[in-house]
Amino acid sequence: MNILNKEKLKLVMAMDWWQTDDLGGKIGKIKVSDGPVGLRCLSVTDSWANDSIYPSVAYPCYQMLSQTWNLSLAYKMGRAIADDCVDHNVDVLLGPGVNIKRTPLCGRNFEYYSEDPYVAGVFGKSFIEGVQAGHVGVSLKHYCCNNREYSRYWLSSEVDDRTLREIYLKPFEIAAQAKPWTVMTSYNLVNGVRMSANKKLNDLLRDEFDFDGVIVSDWEAVQDPLDSLHAGLDLEFPHNDKHAEEMEKHLAEGRVDLECLDKSSARVLALASKAERERALRKEEYTVDERIAISQEIEEEAIVLLKNNGVLPLKGGKIYVTGAPAHLYYHGGGSSAVIPNRPFVPLDEALRSLGYDAFYSESIGKIYGPLVSMGNLRQACLNSDQSDVTILTVGTGAGAEVEETDRQTIKLSPEELDALRYLRAHSKKLVVVVYAGSAVDLSEFDELADAVVLAGFGGQNVSQAVANVLTGKVNPSGRLTETYAYSIDDIPSEQTYRNEAVMVYEEGLNVGYRYFETQGVDVLYPFGYGLSYSDFKYSDLKVEMKADHVAVSVKVENLSDMDGKEVVQIYVNEVNPLVYRPVRELRAFDKVFVKAHESREVTFELQKDAFSYFSTILNKWIMEPGSFIIQVGKNAHEIVLQKKVDVNM
């Protein structure tokens, strides 16, 4: 096809908010849509207006998906969302986001998987494989170092090369193995260069991560369209009249590098052809009801039991339910806000459907970000007095966790703390269920409640899933994928330098559990933590150096009367490193089902990259032969077995 340079300019600049240019019908349009945790597809193509969103299946947020520690569910969720895309003729889903949770204050943390780059990378990879198996593309985002929403268009994330490669780029490197159709650049600058015009990192994406798709901008992220094109950005979203005029002028004046224009327009043209071919192959894998069931299945495996003094699973009796999230659908805000396609089921109703004597009255009414409407707390206390178990639901929601702004605090509202204290004085047994998309301060809840359950932003069937876990119909198996510190003051990234222009990543590799475990700082709940109704024992750890990998096996035994799932976590520690290395780093995991009073052997193969670090002097990954300790943990703090092995690959 003979395409003129003016037409090539149209190809590298979107036609409107959600579609690429079809050159007057010469080629097919590519339709894109928000929707990492459910399709946020609009009925219009020229705006971002929330009032034009089609209802769709609302899935658990990425935080919850990763807390399943079950990669098959990430694939399954991706495949289900592909069907949602097919229903609305969407060619490219704008997700997944694999950015690192550097601080719990980031307003978009619910859209991201973990503080750990390996967890974020493998979940992103599996999700992408699921979506693209449905012949729908994805946009792996936000590339890279988008770890705060504070001044996100203008702030420069200042990161040393080793930290960049080992922590912030590693999830993209892993997820890129799934061959995403597109990668989306972030709003921020990295080391002084805007990501939509960052040639060094765009070249790295193509040359080292073997990405051969289209690099797209986040919406309205481009400041200089010419610089961005020359730096390797292939496609600017949305359409910008001013930028289109500028580029036509640059083209007429001979300032456009035609080789760059040819490469980028050819990639967009190839994507349009790919989308057209894939459309012909699309067919529904799951009905809508099956997708809703998948949403609930994910939530049931994601819910984390944080504390249990024997009150759970519920034994019966009169159950009093209160708190806003029990009757209102809690979710994150911004471009991931989905309108569920089925009515929300309150928690008390979900419990009654299972045969339990549950009822509801208001204590905390509505929460509007930091503003709380308090209901009849006196009546709530009277109801608690007259009940066998009180379930208090608390959380954040779209007013606190939302794109474009960071959270002001990790504490829950003073009103919710009041409800906790007053109900504690009146409750025979008190269960707290937490609905939040990122880490919150639960220290007082842990102290006063008999049980604490993390439901997170659990999708449209969250109540049914929570009810199944509370009653023991489902044995909880979720594990945290971020650390719950005692205080925001304990988070190292919150103590680093920041001014009006830069945010310095002074903590380097010491992100999340890498910091807490290396420095010996106590936390409320460590990375990887979670309880079960079953009791598991580990034994028979075997570690052997093979020709090209380290073979690890361990026996997991279920000592209880209840079938359950356990997450086996493998950490690596170098005994005498040449460079700084955290005391332990997660290198493998597996979630295994073990029947009551039975055992299973779990095996792993640790490849060279599990023992490597990035050398900034040599500008490559290095595996120094030496001694390593293979650690088997129930979480990042509780190492139950370990064995030393000499590694030479």
As annotated, the active-site residues are: 218
Which H/E stretch holds residue 101? none
Q: 3-class SS at 290?
A: helix
Retrieve residue 195's tokens. 């990501």
Q: To 10 degrees, the CA torsion angle through 528, 529, 531, 535? A: 70
157 φ, ψ (degrees, to nearest 5): -80, 115
Distance between the two ends of the chain, CA-based, in angstroms?
A: 49
Inter-helix orientation angle 414-426/377-385, to 10°: 30
Cα(480)–Cα(239) distance, rounded to whole angstroms? 40
Contacts of residue 78, Cβ cutoff 8 Å, sequence gap at least 6: 126, 127, 128, 129, 130, 131, 132, 133, 134, 138
Ramachandran quadrant class, 118 (left: phi over 0; alpha: psi -120 to 50; beta: rest): alpha
Contacts of residue 44, Cβ cutoff 8 Å, sequence gap at least 6: 52
Following DSSP, what letter does each residue of 111-136 receive, concatenated? GS--SSHHHHHHHHHHHHHHHHHTT-
Length of the chain: 649
Whether 380 contacts 423, CB under 8 Å: yes
Q: To 10 degrees, the CA torsion angle through 422, 423, 424, 426? A: 100
What is the separation of C-alpha 232 from the centre of its chain, rounded to a whole number of angstroms?
Answer: 27
Under DSSP, the state recorded for 7 is H
Q: What is the largest distance, in Å, between two alpha-carbon atoms of the chain? A: 81
Inter-helix orientation angle 71-87/288-302, to 10°: 150
Cα(631)–Cα(647) distance, rounded to whole angstroms? 15
**Peptide linkage before 313 cis (omega within 30 of 0):** yes
Contacts of residue 305, Cβ cutoff 8 Å, sequence gap at least 6: 312, 451, 452, 453, 454, 469, 476, 478, 530, 531, 532, 533
Cα(428)–Cα(386) distance, rounded to whole angstroms? 9
Whether 349 contacts 389, CB under 8 Å: no
What is the separation of C-alpha 649 from the centre of its chain, rounded to a whole number of angstroms?
Answer: 33
Cα(104)–Cα(490) distance, rounded to whole angstroms? 11
Whether 141 contacts 86, CB under 8 Å: no
Amino acid (1-letter code) at residue 373: S
* Residue that the structure tokens 């905390």 belong to: 364
Cα(372)–Cα(414) distance, rounded to whole angstroms? 9
Whether 608 contacts 649, CB under 8 Å: yes
Partners of 360 in the β-ladder: 321
Q: 3-class SS at 474?
A: coil
Q: To 10 degrees, the CA torsion angle through 121, 126, 131, 136? A: 60
Retrieve residue 337's tokens. 């806000």
